[in-house]
Amino acid sequence: MPTIEPLDCAAELGIPAERLPRHIAVIMDGNGRWARQRDMERVKGHEAGAENVREIVTQCARLGVEALTLYSFSTENWRRPIDEITRLMSLYVEYLIKEREEIMDNDVRLVQIGRRDRLPPDVLRELDETARLSANNRGMTLCLALNYSSRVEIVDAVRKIAERIRSGDLDPNEINEQTIDASLYTAGLPDPDLLVRTAGEMRISNFLLWQISYAELYVTDTLWPDFHREDLNNAIRAYAARERRFGGLNK
């Protein structure tokens, strides 16, 4: 990830800064199809996808996006062949080590959402080290959804709330949306304004179900390894052109 130079949204995208989404969430789909189209093993698609993360993270940070959440590995992905999972886990270790200096240089804060169980010790070690070093950074938050499931997240949030009730810290009648927000893995982050899905699939895939209640959806047929800076810019332009009513009416 090269040193990030801030961009003028109007100059780069042709939109005013206030039209920039605060939080972008991405379902990075299509690595396997990208590899098959080139008669490669699926793992080569994951390697190409991992390389592409750098370009998208850099562009979001340069534009001033507050948070970028990448759906990296779901709890359902453990069903994949063991060789593919092993390579994916090694890619996380490689990425976290290789990008650590640039993350620090560019004031990016790294966090992980998802359960830690089943993640290999070396992945946890590098995640924790990068998260620790970047904890006080004040630039963009890069949120890796790793071993993540939105339904599991909601279950964990309910358990956390139940523990507060059992300990006498919370009255059930006081539970509201803010109580739930504060109990989710994403506590402290703004809800996504824009959800991007690559590779043309028209589904959410158990991703941030609570948080994307009012997110604008942008689906592209472009496969993740081919989703580059201008593709991201086009997604943001499409978002900026929409009228967000949040259940109300146009003025």
Tell me if residue 29 is catalytic. yes
To which residue do tokens 């961009």 refer?
Answer: 7
For residue 150, give the nearest of 114, 178, 182 by alpha carbon. 114
Active-site residue (options: 8, 29, 191, 221): 29
Q: In 3-state terms, what secondary structure has residue 68?
A: strand
Q: How far apart are CA 69 and CA 9, in angstroms?
A: 20
Q: Which amino acid is located at 43 in the chain?
A: V
Tokens of 200: 């043309």
Question: Does residue 153 contact residue 71 with C-beta atoms inside 8 Å?
Answer: no
- The answer to whether 250 is a known catalytic residue is no
Bridge pairing between strands 194-197 and 109-113: unpaired
C-alpha–C-alpha distance, residues 10 and 233, integer Å: 12
Q: How many residues does the chain have?
A: 251
For residue 241, give both structure tokens. 């052109």
> Which pair of tokens denotes residue 45?
């698609």
Q: Show which residues are catalytic.
A: 29, 77
